Amino acid sequence: MADEVNKTAFLEIQGRMIELTGKLKQVQNQMRNKEGEKKRAYLTLEELRQLSDDTNTYKSIGRTFVLEPKPVLMNEQEQKLKDSESAIASLQTSKEYLEKQMAEVENNLRELLQQDPGLARQIMSMSVM
């Protein structure tokens, strides 16, 4: 009876760990994307700053380029930069939360395996394909 309870608990912990790992990877990918957006906005802003104010600047909209004043493009890039920074900060908070959850699940798994050495042996004897 206790063996079945431990197996069930192990499967629940394993499922939770798989779920958290997926979420963590997703957040890391989102952070990577936002870092790329931030870098693009920063580099574009730096290039725009080097241009004189009377230079014709164009904004890409799909396959079309539209004439836009330099200050408008600079404001857009500054806004993209700020948005990316705030999104990265939010994602960092989510990442830290998920990492704490992951550590908690790992501790639960460790406790379960220490509590039932038979289950640990059973798991170790399974071949991973």
Question: How many domains does the chain contain in total?
Answer: 1
Q: What per-residue confidence (pLDDT) applies to 79?
A: 97
Q: What per-residue confidence (pLDDT) applies to 123?
A: 74
State the chain's mean pLDDT as an integer: 91
The full 3-state SS of the chain, as one line of letters, equals: CHHHHHHHHHHHHHHHHHHHHHHHHHHHHHHHHHHHHHHHHHHHHHHHHHCCCCCCEEEEECCEEEEECHHHHHHHHHHHHHHHHHHHHHHHHHHHHHHHHHHHHHHHHHHHHHHCHHHHHHHHHCCCC
At 128, the pLDDT band (50, 70, 90 cuts) reads low
Domain range for residue 69? 1-127
Q: At residue 76, does pLDDT exceed 70?
A: yes
Average pLDDT over residues 83-111: 95
- CATH code at 75? 1.10.287.370
